[in-house]
Amino acid sequence: MINVTKTYLPNVEKYKSYVDKIFSSGWLTNNGHMVQELERRLSEYLGVKNLLLVSNGTLALQIAYKILDLRGDVLTTPFTFVATTSSLVWEGLTPVFVDIDPNTFNMDPEKIAGKITKNTSAIVPVHVFGNACEVERIQETANEYNLKVIYDAAHAFGVKYKDQSIANYGDIATFSFHSTKVFHTIEGGALVIKDDDLFKRAKLKINFGIPGPDMVTDLGINCKMNEFQAAMGLCVLEDMDLILSHRKKIYKKYCGAFQGNSHIKLQKINSEASQNYSYFPVVLDSESVLLNVRYALNKEDIFPRRYFYPSLEELPYVQENQPAHVSNDISKRILCLPIYENLEEDMQDKIIEIVREASRGTEQI
Ligand SMILES: *Cc1c(COP(=O)(O)O)cnc(C)c1O
């Protein structure tokens, strides 16, 4: 069975050697040596300061909203994984959707200003499928209206914009290190926080607001990463070059196979940014074509995913009447094809062939 992604597993002996260290130290969680080591190595790898590891990417977003003390309405994109929006609602904030650009699939910067009111406190864009947002234009708008910017960079691990980490843009950027992501710690996530004081506050918040023995100084919660997660991260990080080079090869092959195909539209990538080849989305002519393509793949035991469907303005717990026509249309027609480090060439050839055939539409079925 071929899925949209397959978790990268490092050499098991290497992982065991880390586990042995955890057992001999007896220190399993609470800012242990491996968490500290991974924070150091990730900061270096990404080229960021103030990186804080947490237990998952959803809590990373929630901590970001909390420490920035967001209120009222938050502008965000309807075309993303549900956690971007659900985390806002969970924190008592009101998501206000800004429609996306039909080519980049990111929040359309042209449409941001029109949605800002006196109740707006922040913008939460997503670098969808690792494609960098127009970060400079978004920052200009944010500055003009005095809004915070939090990037959900869950897909954008290692991506650079103009030669620096994409996580250096915005007040805070968050990552997810879930097993389905390009770099993972089983479950996990991180915040990259521009302001030093906010970074200190975040550190407190993720551990119940406890700065030391016999003290509670802040309202906190528990979202600490543990040593076993960090050990996985240390192993995977060592193999990152290999992972990215294999993914790049697969990504480029898909591009070559589909470019110029009038029935298959590809994502337009930000020309100032690098890529991490984490997803391969294709937009088809209609939802019925998409269902045919999926059916044809499923018959061969290949399971692409409808990332992202449904468009989030349709969620039952957001304010009604927020039409997002572009997102709604794209979400009905977009399919992410299998891409992962060891997807075999023959299998990819087969996927390409099936998608080409089935995407031609009515003449097929
Ligand atoms: C995966 C993902 C998240 C949530 O991360 P978890 O680590 O699974 O909690 C948030 N936003 C986006 C865009 C994601 O893809």
pLDDT tens column, 133-151: 999 999 999 999 999 999 9
Using the mean position of ligand 1's atoms as its centre, give its distance from the Cα of residue 254 in Å.
25
The pLDDT score that the predictor gives to residue 364 is 46
User: Looking at residue 265, which CATH number applies to its domain?
Assistant: 3.90.1150.10
Does 271 share its domain with 346? yes
Q: For residue 155, give the ligand 1 atom closest to its CA.
A: 15
Residues 37 and 157 in one domain: yes
Does the beta carbon of 57 sit less than 6 angstroms from any atom of ligand 1? yes
Residue 144 sits in the same domain as residue 226 = yes
pLDDT of residue 336: 98
In a domain, 363, yes or no: no
pLDDT score for 361: 78
Number of domains in the chain: 2
208 shares a domain with 72: yes
Domain boundary among 173, 204, 238: 238
Q: Are residues 170 and 280 in the same domain?
A: no
Domain region containing 37: 2-238
Asked if residue 227 and residue 105 are part of one domain, the reply reads: yes
Do residues 163 and 31 both lie within one domain?
A: yes
Count of CB atoms within 10 A of residue 328's CB? 19
147 in any annotated domain: yes
pLDDT at 362 (0 to 100) = 66
Number of other CB atoms surrounding residue 146 within 10 Å: 8
Per-residue pLDDT, 355: 98
112 shares a domain with 23: yes
Does residue 351 form part of some domain? Answer: yes
What is the model's pTM?
0.97
Q: Is residue 364 part of a domain?
A: no
In a domain, 74, yes or no: yes
Judging by beta carbons within 10 Å of its beta carbon (0-12, 13-18, 19+), is residue 143 exposed, middle or buried? exposed
Task: Kindly state the tokens that stand for 170.
Answer: 């915005």
The reply to whether 200 and 65 lie within a common domain is yes
Answer whether residue 341 shows pLDDT above 60.
yes
Atom of ligand 1 nearest to the CA of 80: 13
Indicate whether residue 172 lines ligand 1 (CB < 6 A).
no
363 pLDDT higher than 60: no
Residues above pLDDT 70, as percent of the chain: 99
Q: Is the pLDDT of residue 206 over 70?
A: yes
Average pLDDT taken over every residue of the chain: 97
- List helix spans (H) across the chain: 12-25, 33-46, 57-67, 83-90, 135-145, 196-205, 227-238, 240-258, 287-298, 325-333, 345-358
Choice from 53, 56, 58 to test ligand 1 binding pocket (greatest atom count within 8 A of CB): 58
Whether residue 314 has pLDDT greater than 80 = yes
| Average pLDDT over every residue of 199-203 | 97
> Quick one: average pLDDT of 172-186?
98
Q: Is the CB of 56 under 6 A from ligand 1?
A: yes
> What confidence score (pLDDT) does residue 72 get?
98
Q: Are residues 150 and 52 in the same domain?
A: yes
Same domain for 280 and 221, yes or no, is no
Shared domain for 22 and 35, answered yes or no, is yes
Last residue of a domain, one of 238, 265, 292: 238
Nearest-CA residue for atom 2 of ligand 1: 154
Mean pLDDT confidence for 83-94: 98
Whether 229 lines ligand 1, by a CB cut-off of 6 Å, is no
- Final residue in a domain of this structure, among 203, 238, 273: 238
